[in-house]
Structure 1
């Protein structure tokens, strides 16, 4: 963490509210020639460059970016780090895909050396795609979470992760028991939750792979540690929903399974939520639970189209998720592009400012971390990304045709990917530079 004040000058854009609540024009701040000042890992000033400069010593160290857009770091509200090695696996829908690809790969994470290797690669990929916070699945092995947190701690990341709980309907080599899952989770919580910028999520894979006894332990952990997260899957696939109702015939619907065991609260995040009834939406809203919208994975597995307007009608917090490895890219820019197409298929529009909100401040709200991350307001942790508006020849040509900020932002989301990410800063320090970690871009202004 850099303790001295450093200024960063570029075009600056960040979300300050949900467009559905305040309208598009009041949902963001944009400074064509802007500046942020960072000290002790936090934003201490933001605004028009000349005005910010006037408030600080004339010799303040300044980093200036040309043809770049600086915005807050992206927030991925659902991703599986152990599935990094099986991304782009061909030809299955959810349940067969788990059996044929996911479970065999996750067995390898019993070996902490392999887990550490993948965790390092995974965190490198996040940084190179401008993602600074993620809600992350481990495997059933507590070692997989331990090494993940070790790697994240070295990088001063704000990460949330948890050990998978799974005691049935999975290969024997990947199951735990209610007792071992409870004890392992408890050990990990006490070791890692609120250690630096790290946070813990109790993580049952999904209802079909946990017995009643195990789901009871999830509710127990949430009562014993009320400020931890709960992270699982919900209503991703129609066959999955049918299976849940066969396994839990006394419950009213899929969400009611989790609700019955005390798993809904303000830090509960459910991935997908594609096929939800009105009563399920109402209960998610009442409990303060959130949905992670995972468009690339929903399309890749043929799971369905998320009805975002319906979730908004019930005032459910929604963030964006890549869901690697069913998701096909670590890039939240590409994820935003696919989200737009999902809305188009339902004759709905997804405005680029709304997409930016979902990938930044919306994600922070879904994770109940909007007081710490999600935009560039004074006092927030200094996680930000520098995007190259001229990253490719096509993007440069198209940007020159853009008539306004909204059009530029839409081009960025439609054509952008990891090549667009020029630098990523974590807690005020450069974590990634497309030209190499040691390139020096600091100049006096």
Structure 2
């Protein structure tokens, strides 16, 4: 006998949300259907189906189209697919797993809403179909801020930056009812942060956010700090940082990395100290900035202490970036043996940048004994097309030690592998 109580549906919502696998979520759904026999008009069943689709999309490491097709067939049998929220959730699942199925479903959907179209715009963008995405955007009878953000984001993801900023300008000039939010501005500012020539655009967008009295949340504030720091406008970055009502680890890390980038090692370390005093747990990116700051400022003891704190106090495994900073810091300070020991103890194979940094320190401090243990490894990793400077460095090390036969052998090797000298570049 079917249970007519709504409580199995309510319980299934929670059970699906905490399911550990798509199969478990599907089992809960089938058990719920068998127990309660809901109709498609039941207001709760659509919420259960949407939760199921979201849970399965989240739990699948590699989205499986066959799984969603199986669920889709069940929804067709029960006529639940006709509900616009259910159809949109299924469309999102197909966008992540099988775009051909997503297009077919979108064309067959009897009812669409703005969220449905936004999902399809994002799907077209994932496939690189910008023209189809823009056509759908222009045909939408009603747009919301997510529609504009999705289309702007599509252009940015595909590297069509001019179109993205033009569309943003159109948004703020023509659609008075819809105003950009943080979700709209963050990817635009992130684009400006990665391109020095876009800094004026970034400042204009920041000015717009201030004029619109937009709240500077964590995401927006962090990307503004990153943009200003990368362009050298540290005063502006500090102003944003100080005025943010809420700061998270990524905010602190962006400010510390910005200070380190421009050689303000002591200021970066002071900020790191303040971060710990406020009980904000640092992450790998934070320590990359801290170690970089120590390296630029020559703070050897602070760098060693920070490296140990990262490993022992916060249980973070050193990455290539962390080890590279330490090797450079120790090497520049003349602690070549310590730098070499660190390279030898690295869990992974040190890359050519780390080894070349150590070689340069050997040259600076005339430590040919250590250099000779590295030269073979470095030359074995060097690419003659792009690493011509490494061959010159090795030749200089041999020349410094008076080993002219080895100098000649390196010159012969350069000719044999056709080493190319890297051309100089200018941003002017």
User: TM-score w.r.t. structure 2 length?
Assistant: 0.27
Which one has a larger percent strand, Structure 1 or Structure 2?
Answer: 1
Greater RCO structure (CA 8 Å; 6+ sep): 1
